[in-house]
Structure 1
Amino acid sequence: MTFETLIYEKADRIATVTLNRPHTGNALSGQLRDELDLVMDDLDHDDETRVLIIKSAGNHFSTGYDLKEFSYLWDEHSAINEQQRRPHSRSPIWSRHRFHLSRERWMRLFHLRQCTIAMIHGHCVAGGLDLVGVCDIAFAADDALLGQPEARAMGELHVFAFWPIHLGMRKTKEWLFTGDNMTGKEAEELGLVNKAVPHDELEAVTRAYAERVANVPLDAIYSHKEITNRWFEAAGMHAGIAAANDLDAMGIAGPGMDEFTQVWREGGVRPAVRMRDAPFKPHRTYLEAYEARKAGWNGPEGD
């Protein structure tokens, strides 16, 4: 199968999907998600493939959803088709509907029969974490950066990246309240990824795990997945994710977005994101800001 935004390959009972929009930081466009649906269509009928590895070309795993395709929510002149130009398209009730549909598409990957493995390098933020969240296993380069910067303005993620499940209550809040990025090593310590390794070992380590899983019958892999997943579904996982979709739709129409929206309308997405993130630079986390303060640094954060 040949795609425009993905590279899809199979060998030795292992399938590999490579996100192939490096010029955008592998931002998740509508076309990319449509093509990923076609990959899942193929795997639904493939009884030989046991593992799906998801990786990316270029410098980053994914910089999130392609915001150019959502800009009509803040600026009606940015609409790219007739559907987006319809007045009701900017209503929170219809945003909620689209976000729930997006969640359902991600959950299809969550329930895929094959073992799914995310292979993370560079930045993996915002919507990229939705993709990682629904994978069974995640390996990361130890210097990768994972986070939800949209938490500073713009709302929630469509499956909330499964953070409450992977990180627990207190750690989810600690990282979500700031929108800071964690390294691959920190993500391993927190339970967001299974293993963090040096960047030049990432592919080999991921393949070593995939090759062992590929020796297990597909029906056994699927059974293991469903048994494990059911524990969290019974605990209310779906209700929690649905709440994220509801609050996302309300959040992007709320007062917290006013300044972001104004900058977006005047200059586009990049200036708006720079404005959003400016108070948090130049330090990656509050601990780095604290250490800089102890060392006598006095900068834009008021340290």
Structure 2
Amino acid sequence: MEHLKLAVDAERAIGTIVLDRSDCANAINDQTVNEISEAYRSLDADERVKVIVLSGAGKGFCSGHQLGGSPTGQPLTALEDVEILLRQNNRLLDIYNGNTPMIAKVHGYCLGAAVELVLLCDLSIASADSRFAHPAIRGAGGSPNALLYPFALGFSKAKEYLWVTPELSGTEAAEWQLVNRAVPAGELDAWANKWASRIASMPVENIRIMRRGLRRLQDMAGYREASEIGADLDAFGHSGPATKQWKDTVAEVGLKEAVRRRDSAFL
């Protein structure tokens, strides 16, 4: 796989998936989404694996969706846009639909769609100094693609996070219940290994039964539907004047200056 590293520790019954795109801060695109889905399904089907740990190589976990145009270089229609977003969401829902629990191990930056990827995992541990934010909504797109934040934060805190919060540290993300636990950066690997080992020590049928039961309850609460609604609203936002203005500003002054202007009220 071009964008991932995949490994299995058969003796400990632990699989690992590492995002590895140092050229673009581990940003995800259509190919990366395909590879994440394929990697999870491969490990989920591996009888040696009881739990999977997801992490990012380099300075951070993931910087979110990779910026850029459509695969063909031509503007997307609203229908094409929503179909791409839904397809990506459905691929990532393989993590949610499978039998094998996944732990997100987060360090450095975790931005935009990367946070939604973390929310698809069963458990998450972050370094205390990691950074969580969804800055894209300040310039382009009207909604997170998967719209999973209310399930972690509740509706009021989700609005606070998306609308007025510059970013959360790993410690704050744990306090907000965006992740399960924040630990010192030097202890992150040890904590992830400890949690993975504890899950791997359990009977596989007990793990699967519990995961299926909780998934059904999440479905009853609207988890799967939220993923579809988010894609619809994100595509709607992409076709609006705010996104056009954002693209025009990037073209005029460059991405770095456009980001500075976009985030000036959040400094």
TM-score normalised according to structure 2 size: 0.93
Matched ranges for 1:199-218 at <5 A:
199-218=185-204
Q: Partners in 2 of 1:178 and 1:258 — Cα distance?
A: 22
Q: Partners in 2 of 1:100 and 1:270 — Cα distance?
A: 29
Larger radius of gyration: 1
Question: What's the secondary structure of 2:58's corresponding residue?
Answer: coil
Q: Partners in 2 of 1:97 and 1:179 — Cα distance?
A: 30
- Encode CA deviations 1:82-116: one digit per residue, 9 max, x unaligned: x343xxx5211211111111111111111221110
Residue 26 of structure 1 is matched in structure 2 by 26
* Unaligned ranges ≥5, structure 1: 73-80, 282-303
Residue 64 of structure 2 is matched in structure 1 by 64
Residue 175 of structure 2 is matched in structure 1 by 189
Is the CA contact 1:151–1:178 (under 8 Å) kept in the aligned structure 2?
Answer: no
Is the CA contact 2:21–2:27 (under 8 Å) kept in the aligned structure 1?
Answer: yes
Q: Are positions 1:119 and 2:117 aligned together?
A: no
Is the CA contact 1:149–1:179 (under 8 Å) kept in the aligned structure 2?
Answer: no
Q: Partners in 2 of 1:280 and 1:41 — Cα distance?
A: 39
TM-score normalised according to structure 1 size: 0.82
Is the CA contact 2:59–2:107 (under 8 Å) kept in the aligned structure 1?
Answer: yes
Amino acid at match of 1:52: I
Task: Tell me by how many angstroms 1:121 deviates.
Answer: 0.6
Q: Are positions 1:144 and 2:130 aligned together?
A: yes
- Encode CA deviations 1:215-266: one digit per residue, 9 max, x unaligned: 1122221211111121121122222322211110111111222321211233
Deviates more, 1:8-17 or 1:261-270: 261-270
Residue 36 of structure 2 is matched in structure 1 by 36
- Encode CA deviations 1:114-167: one digit per residue, 9 max, x unaligned: 11000001110101112101000000001111111112122222222x210110
The 3 A distance-change label for structure 1 pair 172 and 62 is same
Task: Tell me by how many angstroms 1:64 deviates.
Answer: 0.5
Is the CA contact 2:44–2:99 (under 8 Å) kept in the aligned structure 1?
Answer: yes
Residue 229 of structure 2 is matched in structure 1 by 243
Matched ranges for 1:72-151 at <5 A:
72=70, 81=71, 83-85=72-74, 89-151=75-137
Residue 160 of structure 2 is matched in structure 1 by 174
Is the CA contact 2:124–2:179 (under 8 Å) kept in the aligned structure 1?
Answer: yes
Question: What's the secondary structure of 1:16's corresponding residue?
Answer: strand
Residue 157 of structure 1 is matched in structure 2 by 144
Is the CA contact 1:107–1:134 (under 8 Å) kept in the aligned structure 2?
Answer: yes
Amino acid at match of 2:158: T
Amino acid at match of 2:123: I
* Unaligned ranges ≥5, structure 2: none
Alignment root-mean-square deviation, CA: 1.7
Question: What's the secondary structure of 1:38's corresponding residue?
Answer: helix
Is the CA contact 1:141–1:196 (under 8 Å) kept in the aligned structure 2?
Answer: yes
Amino acid at match of 1:227: G
Alignment coverage as a number of residue pairs = 264
Question: What's the secondary structure of 1:55's corresponding residue?
Answer: strand
Q: Partners in 1 of 2:171 and 2:28 — Cα distance?
A: 24
